[in-house]
Amino acid sequence: MTNALEQRLVDLETRLAFQEHALQELSDALAAARSEEAANALRLHWALDELRQLRRALAASPVTGDAASEPPPPHY
Q: What is the DSSP secondary structure assignment for residue 73, as one 8-state letter?
A: P
Q: Is residue 71 part of a domain?
A: no
Q: Is residue 11 part of a domain?
A: yes
Q: Is residue 4 part of a domain?
A: yes
Find the mean pLDDT for residues 48-75.
83
Give pTM, 2 decimals: 0.61
Number of domains in the chain: 1
Q: Is residue 50 part of a domain?
A: no
Find the mean pLDDT for residues 44-68.
86
In this predicted structure, the answer to whether residue 62 has a pLDDT above a threshold of 80 is: no
Q: Is residue 66 part of a domain?
A: no
Indicate the average pLDDT of the chain: 91
**Confidence at residue 65, expressed as pLDDT on a 0 to 100 scale:** 65
In this predicted structure, the answer to whether residue 36 has a pLDDT above a threshold of 80 is: yes
Q: Is residue 26 part of a domain?
A: yes
Domain of 12 in residue numbering reads as: 1-40
What single string gives the DSSP state of each residue in 8-64? HHHHHHHHHHHHHHHHHHHHHHHHHHHHHHHHHHHHHHHHHHHHHHHHHHHHHS---
Residue 1 pLDDT level (bands cut at 50, 70, 90): low
